[in-house]
Structure 1
């Protein structure tokens, strides 16, 4: 079982080696029989040969990854990161367009010069320190293109699917209602048999009533949550959100939580996995923070007007 910091170092090293374009060094982080699915919904694969084929186009595109947040589970093996990657449009852009993940370039002008992907990566690291499984999360709404890569020039799809809109909106509804102390209304966002792991590897709540009691405790502690940009999966009702959480116990506590939430066809949460460890928690008097919510992506804003 690796320590929390050791697992986070594996995630950091994964992004560093990919950004450096060193596939051989990147594969050294993986067990020989490691499994992976990137993005979730594209099909599971296994082994170094498949991993090499998967990473080669990203390296050819000059991918540079930035870790936005990184948290761990209490299971001794998981580390979950929120990433942003920028790269040349080719060769992944045309491949994604062929798969229907991106709109194909149209018109007489040149194809986009740059591609940006907002994503999350879940690693399961074994006792040996090697990655045994990797899952990447990003959906069509998490891909953006730019004609020149300049700041402010990236744009995503003009319209998100109703399902993706519902996934992203659910996380916003959750934090808005919880911050207002509307515990019963928060509980109604989930099914009667909700499974709520908070944190993963330590506490699992079964059922809406158990969740309601947990939420009442959080509201009593004065919880305030500020979510960052959510990402989804290419297939399946999954959404991943990193959230800054503050509450009083009675001492002020701040933590970063990254949660993977699954919804059913009715838009209700059925399974939530919240990843946070001791290294994701800060106790004591904390500096003031900007509580202004992140701007809503344009497709989501238009879809929810």
Structure 2
């Protein structure tokens, strides 16, 4: 297992080498038998040869990446980053337009392309990346006719299913902060799997989620969401969160959550990534985050007390 700071350093080095066009150095971060999917929904590939072809395309467009935030799993293996990448429109832009990922240019061809995405790396005990997944959907692509300084514009119309997927985290947060536990739980499947954090708490089913949601509301959690991204197959939404917890102590947490949905757009698997290095204990009284919603949550009525997952009944 690699510690949290080491995994974050690998993520930073990954973006640095890609931005510098150092493909050989970039491949040196990966195990020979690496598996990857970039973007998620485009199909999984394996090995250095396929990975080299993927990176060569990005480097040909003079990609320049900025890490918005990196967080880790408490499982000792994962690091998840929200990244913004800016590149020349060619060569990837025309290819994306052919695939229907971008609208065909009308008039002047764009000069620059921007992609908002999330990069999930699984790092083995050797310190090499064993699996890579890049999450981004069509609305996460933007173009500019005025160069890399922008302005950038995304699609003018978003598919209704995509719009519903992107609304899910906002609905969850709105209901949770209102203290509407039942409304919150209704957004998920009966057999929901909830990991918060990954490598730590694992919950299964609505009863366990109901108790978790109540504790979040009771603990006066206030969370602000950053720009989210999705996946090409419409199954995932990934959102950056900045949370304040006021009970039992004043804490700030930076987290990135991956939510997998089913065909009915209900959450089926939630993975919350945050580690000890993503927490600040004892935030000052003049912290600028809005105050949490009033404590209006009602404890769910249960015939028996919930036990931690894995505890014999």
Scaled by the length of structure 2, the TM-score of the pair is 0.90
Give the conservation status (yes or no) of the 8 Å contact 2:74–2:199. yes
**Cα 1:86–1:291 shift into 2, 3 Å:** farther
Question: Which runs of 4 or more aligned residues in structure 1 lie more than 6 Å from their structure 2 counterparts after TM superposition?
Answer: none
**1:249-268 alignment runs, 5 A limit:** 249-268=247-266
Output aligned runs, 1:148-297, within 5 Å.
Answer: 148-149=146-147, 151=149, 153-286=151-284, 287-289=286-288
Provide the secondary structure at the position in 2 that maps to 1:178.
helix
Distance 1:58 1:291, change over 3 A: farther
Check conservation: 2:244, 2:289, Cα contact below 8 A.
no
Q: CA RMSD in A?
A: 1.4
Q: Does 1:105 align with 2:105?
A: yes
Q: Which residue of 1 aligns with 2:294?
A: none
Shift of 1:44: 0.8
Contact 1:226 1:291 in 2 (8 A): no
Matched position secondary structure for 1:128: coil
**Aligned counterparts of 1:17 and 1:151: Cα–Cα separation in 2:** 22
Q: Give the secondary structure class of the aligned counterpart of 1:127.
A: coil
How far apart in 2 are the matches of 1:178 and 1:152? 37
Distance 1:134 1:150 in 2: 27
The offset of 1:150, in angstroms, is: 5.8
Cα drift, residue 189 of structure 1: 0.8
Q: 1:67-96, CA deviations, whole angstroms, 9 ceiling, x for partnerless residues?
A: 111111111100111010001000010111
Q: Any unmatched runs of 5+ in structure 2?
A: 292-313
Structure 2 CA distance for aligned equivalents of residues 219 and 39 of structure 1: 35
Give the number of equivalent residue pairs. 290
Partner Cα distance (2:154, 2:222) in 1: 30
Contact 1:120 1:137 in 2 (8 A): yes
CA–CA separation in structure 2 for the residues paired with 1:265 and 1:25:
40
What does residue 34 of structure 1 align with? 34
Q: TM-score, normalised by structure 1?
A: 0.92
Matched, 1:55 2:58: no
How far off is 1:236 after superposition? 3.4
Contact 2:112 2:148 in 1 (8 A): no
Structure 1 unaligned spans of 5+: 293-305
Larger radius of gyration: 2
SS class of match (1:195) = strand
Counterpart of 2:77 in structure 1 is 77
The question of whether the paired residues in 2 share the 8 Å contact of 1:163 and 1:237 is answered with no
Moved more, 114-123 or 207-216: 207-216
Q: Is the 8 A contact 2:86 2:148 kept in 1?
A: no
Cα shift readout 1:221-242 (whole Å, capped 9, x = no counterpart): 1100101111000113210001
